[in-house]
Every structure is written in structure tokens, then in C-alpha cells.
Amino acid sequence: MTEEPVTFDVAGESLLGIVSLPEHVTSSRALLVVVGGPQYRAGSHRQFTLLTRALARHGIPAMRFDYRGMGDSEGDLRIFESIGDDIRSAIDALCTRLPAVKEVVLWGLCDAASAILFYAWHDPRVAGIVLVNPWVYTPERRAKSLLRHHYLSQLRSREFWKRVFAAQVSGVQVVRSLWANIKASLPLRRATSTGPDPQQPLPERMALGLERYRGPVLLILSGTDLVAHQFKDCVAASRRWQRLLSSPRVTRHEISDAPHTFPSRVWRERVETWTAAWCAGELGNQRAV
């Protein structure tokens, strides 16, 4: 495989991407990594660099890029909710570099997965989406997840109470933090809406994007990650999300002992293998149906 840089413009500002190419490009499908923020195209512990290179070795062209305000790209820093133009221009650049490519898979971790759900249904070139530990943050949901997955295990831990009684942990601070999260977990009264209202909670806007996008979906979750726990709690509390994820177009995998960014070689290679196999096999089968 080889790698080469590509530059492209968004609203008069220059962006940089890196394309990883198989020795012989024969595929009409390529993968675009949308980077979560704030970080640049290499990713944590070179996660996205290694992913795109692995896909190229599997025969799948892949590109990672810096959206505006990050890494080597120009412009002001943007949040994940406002990078749709960057994604579109990156797809344009990838298809220009590889004229044989007619469809693109979008791959995103954390808030990049959220950005993909906002974007994918707008662009018919998006053949599939890979959502990794999607970011469904709300203050209420974060507090609930902390109570369920952090404080509950702490309070059940003999080692934790030993540290409290040995004054290694401040019992007063623990109680204050626990109470703050209990208050934050209480539901707020919100007006209902059926449209893509930016004032709607993030999980509802993401669900709307998934409803509008009708293509195949690969969902990958970490078993020890608070962001993944928040997503699973969101799904468990929402019939809408349960219905969406029970669709045959959704393929789901989980690594029970992995944290957010899959830092070990074993975890990373498992994600790479799932992604490559899905892009080459299951994705094509689902689209044929």
C-alpha cells in the first residue's frame, strides 16, 4: 500500500487529507474517516492512521483528513455539529482522486459518529456508516451513567471503603459529587417537537438522522467506556432507538474489555477486521437486498 496527501477547499479555506491506497485500486467503494474533536487526522495513539493503512492492505482505499481549524487545515475550529461541508468536500476530493470510486463508507468515533448521523442522509454517495461509541451527551444522561456505572460500583467496593476510612479518599467530596450527579440526572421539562429543532436533545437529533438515512450501519461499542455506556443507556430508555437498532440493516459488535479508543493492538485489529469484512462483504449484501 501507499499513501499520498490531498488538499481541497471548503469556503475558500484549504484542508489536508491523507489517502491510503492498495497496491492495485479495483474497488468502487472507499472509506472516509471523520475525525472526532478536538484532534487531528492521526487520532489517539495513531488510531486512524493505522485503521486506514489496514483497510488499504485489505484492498479498500481509505482517507482521513483534518476538518477546518484542526491539524494542518485552515480556518477556525469547529464543533462536530457544523462540519457537514467539510465531510462533503472530503468525499468530493476522494472521488476526484479515485474516479473509479462511486460510493463511500463514513467511519466515525465518538462525536464524529454523531456528525455522520447528521450528514449521511443528505448524500446519496454514502453507501454505509460505521458508528463507534457514538456521542449522545446530555448533562442528564452523563449524570445517570456516572451513577449507574461509576458510583454504584464504587459504593459496592470494599477497597473503596477502605480508602475512605483510611482518609485516602474524602468522604465529604464523594457525597457532594454523588449528590450533584443525582440532581443533574433528574429530567428537565422540555417542549416536544417533531422536526430537526437544534434545541432538541442531541440523542433525538441523532435518531432523526438515523431514521432518514436508509443504508447499512455498523455499530461498534467498547465495554468499559463511559461514552458507550451513555449510548447503551440511551438506547435502553428509548423505544425509538431500540426500533432503529433492531433493524436488519444494523450490524453490532462490542469488545467487552476495551476502553474508548481501543488502544491495544488486539482491540485495534479487531475493529479493523470488523470494518474491513463489513465493507467488503455484509455491506454489499445488505445493499443488494
At 275 the pLDDT is 97
Pick the more confident residue, 41 or 171.
41
In the predicted model, is pLDDT for residue 158 greater than 90? Answer: no
Of 56-65, 94-103, 179-188, 234-243, which gets the smallest average pLDDT? 179-188
State percent of the chain over pLDDT 90.
71
CATH number for the segment(s) 2-137+201-288: 3.40.50.1820
Does residue 196 contact residue 121 with C-beta atoms inside 8 Å?
no
DSSP state string for 171-229? HHHHHHHHHHHHHHHSPPP----SS--TTS-HHHHHHHHHHH--S-EEEEEESS-HHHH
At position 82, the amino acid (one-letter code) is S
Identify the CA nearest to 138 among candidates 237, 281, 62, 216. 237
Give the pLDDT confidence of 7-65 residue by residue, as tens digits: 999 999 999 999 999 998 888 999 999 999 889 999 999 999 999 999 999 999 999 99
Is cis: bond before 196, omega within 30 of 0?
Answer: no
Q: How far apart are CA 98 and CA 54, in angstroms?
A: 18
Please classify residue 285 by burial: count the beta carbons closer than 10 Å to its beta carbon, then call 0-12 exposed, 13-18 middle and 19+ buried: exposed
Ramachandran bin of 73, using left for φ above 0, alpha for ψ from -120 to 50, beta for the remaining angles? beta
Sequence ranges of the chain with CATH classification 3.40.50.1820: 2-137+201-288
Angle ∠(38,250,256) on CA atoms, nearest 5: 65
Cβ count within 10 A of residue 56: 23
On the question of pLDDT at 175 being above 90, the answer is no
What percentage of the chain reaches a pLDDT higher than 70? 76
8 A C-beta contact, residue 67 and residue 38: no
Averaged confidence pLDDT in the chain: 85
Q: Which uninterrupted H or E stretch holds 2?
A: strand 2-10
Q: Say if CB 263 and CB 269 are below 8 A apart.
A: no
pLDDT of 190 strictly over 70: no
Least Cα distance to 80 among 89, 91, 90, 68 occurs for 68
Residues 6+ apart with CB under 8 A from 264: 258
DSSP states along 95-106: HHH-TT--EEEE
Task: Judge if pTM exceeds 0.85.
Answer: no
pLDDT band at 173 (very low <50, low <70, confident <90, very high): low
Cα–Cα distances in angstroms (integers) from residue 263 to residues 42, 133, 270, in the given order: 13, 14, 11
Structure confidence at residue 18 (pLDDT) = 98
DSSP state of 249: T
Do the Cβ atoms of 30 and 61 come closer than 8 Å?
yes
Greater model confidence, 200 or 88:
88
Lowest mean pLDDT among 5-14, 23-32, 79-88, 261-270: 23-32
